[in-house]
Structure 1
Amino acid sequence: MNTTATEPGDARAVSGPPLLNIANALTVLRLILVPVFIWLMLHNGQGAHLAATLVFIVAAITDKLDGQLARSRGLITSFGKIADPIADKALTLSAFVLLSVSGRLWWWVTIVIIVRELGITALRFVMLRRAVMAASRGGKLKTMLQMVGIVGLLTPWPLFLSELFATVFMVIAYAAVGAALVVTVVTGVDYVIQAYRIARRRQIP
């Protein structure tokens, strides 16, 4: 027999996941940690910079965790779709800028990364009207390399390593940033090509 009655769980299916959920809470936490990270980095002293590095690592972990929770538990919301990339870019780009301000990274590297990240983020938002441009494997590799490079350059290695080992870890960090820069540019070009192809398909009658 057919019935028009709805089960209690159906209301959630229609209205979507609640705005207040663990995934969104982690995204908000990351947004809060960004100014804390910046404040610590602007202080002199290796102790403050070590604390800033730890804050950055915690924020980076929330970036990976909130996405996994949102997908696995069906907690994807419109707020999360907008706030998550904003929090992600605010964290990584502020780190690159502060590394350049402190003289640990060339400004041209930071500028290239900023232009690519903001440009592709804007492009993906514009393309939402036509198609969802999902993060590619190259994009995920880019993020991983950026995180490794940033943490490597942020960490005050001389606090707990000899000069030789501190130098080795700094070289590894610069190598990661160099690789991240290459992948950043390549994936940026790939996103532009994807967007062009999607736009052309939509125009074909």
Structure 2
Amino acid sequence: MTGVPASAAGGPSAAKGGPAAVSGAPSGAAPSAPSDAVSGTAAAVHAGAVPAVEVVSAAASEDGVDSGTKPARGKKIAAAAVNQASVWNIANLLTMLRLVLVPGFVALMLADGGYDPAWRSFAWAAFAVAMITDLFDGHLARTYNLVTDFGKIADPIADKAIMGAALICLSGLGDLPWWVTIVILGRELGITLLRFLVIRYGVIPASRGGKLKTLSQGIAVGMYILALTGWLATARFWVMAVAVVLTVVTGLDYVRQAIVLRRQGIAERQAALEETEA
């Protein structure tokens, strides 16, 4: 039987996985693709080109099994967040808390005629909690991939509800002129409607001015909720004046962005249509 390859003869090298088998020596029948992959990997490990640890790790990862190496902390948190991205996640729970706080805030604000300093302090605490959770729920949702359809709808509703309730209560009690409430709420509702109208062309991003507007509104309304006197009562007037100015300026800027976005979207559609017809 001289002249017959060891792999065909079933010799020791082939039976025990010796060099002839590992190196992928030719045989009478063409090996299958998995055999080639195993042989090539084994040969690479045998030659020292690929560390055995990396080969085991890659194989375990492809099989969906933990290779034993610890992933980065951020990756572990992100993976856990993806698995838990349901309605009952921390971001949505904070949004729900804000919605629950709205009727509680109104009850505290109007308790005992609406002018008791103690009840107003409790109302301020509820308003402060709502504003603080507003800062965290969106950040958590984006950072840990917890964005849900419920959150997209409920978050802006909760924001407008707590601010609207505070402004209406203050104006109803005579602490804040009605025109201020109308300007702020009109701007918020108008910009929300505008975003929906141009959503087909793109999304209007939140600007720094818009974030500063939200912060100034929260501080100003919070100061009006508290029963302040003296120079603090004067200071809250100017803080509210800044908030109103930012409200109007940023609102006009959003209108400008919406017009530009719509024009760009229409131009892109026409260009795409012309290319298709050509």
Structure-2-length-normalised TM-score: 0.65
CA distance in 2, matches of 1:189, 1:128: 18
CA distance in 1, matches of 2:84, 2:118: 45
Q: 2:111 aligns to what SS in structure 1?
A: coil
| Equivalent residue for 1:29, pick from 71, 81, 97 | 97
Match of 2:125 in 1: 54
Match of 1:118 in 2: 189
Match of 2:236 in 1: 173
CA distance in 1, matches of 2:125, 2:84: 35
CA distance in 2, matches of 1:7, 1:126: 44
Task: Report the more deviating stretch, 39-48 or 54-63.
Answer: 39-48
Residue type at the aligned position of 1:40: L
CA shift, 1:6, in A, is 8.6
Residue type at the aligned position of 1:42: L
CA shift, 1:100, in A, is 0.8
Residue type at the aligned position of 2:141: A
Residue type at the aligned position of 1:191: Y
CA distance in 2, matches of 1:194, 1:138: 13
1:187 aligns with 2:258: no
Tell whether the 8 Å contact from 1:57 to 1:151 is kept in structure 2 after alignment. Answer: yes
CA distance in 2, matches of 1:6, 1:123: 49
CA distance in 2, matches of 1:26, 1:138: 25
1:78 aligns with 2:149: yes
CA distance in 1, matches of 2:236, 2:63: 56
CA shift, 1:130, in A, is 2.1
Task: Report the more deviating stretch, 120-129 or 33-42.
Answer: 120-129
Q: 1:39 aligns to what SS in structure 2?
A: helix
Deviations, residues 43-93 of structure 1 (Å, cap 9, x unaligned): 122221111111101111111111121122111112111111110011111
Please tell me whether Structure 1 or Structure 2 has the larger radius of gyration of its CA atoms. Answer: 2
CA distance in 2, matches of 1:128, 1:7: 39
Match of 1:160 in 2: none
CA shift, 1:125, in A, is 2.4
Closer, same or farther: CA 126–17 of 1 in aligned 2, 3 Å = farther
Structure-1-length-normalised TM-score: 0.87
Percent identity at matched positions? 46
CA shift, 1:17, in A, is 2.2
CA shift, 1:127, in A, is 2.3
Residue type at the aligned position of 1:192: V
CA shift, 1:180, in A, is 0.6
Q: Which has the higher contact order (CA 8 A, sep 6+)?
A: 1
Task: Report the more deviating stretch, 174-183 or 16-25.
Answer: 16-25
| Equivalent residue for 2:261, pick from 171, 195, 198 | 198
Q: How many residue pairs get matched?
A: 195
Deviations, residues 94-129 of structure 1 (Å, cap 9, x unaligned): 111111111111111111111101110111123222
Match of 1:135 in 2: 206
Tell whether the 8 Å contact from 1:16 to 1:77 is kept in structure 2 after alignment. Answer: no
5+ residue gaps, structure 2, are: 1-36, 38-58, 66-77, 271-278
Match of 1:97 in 2: 168
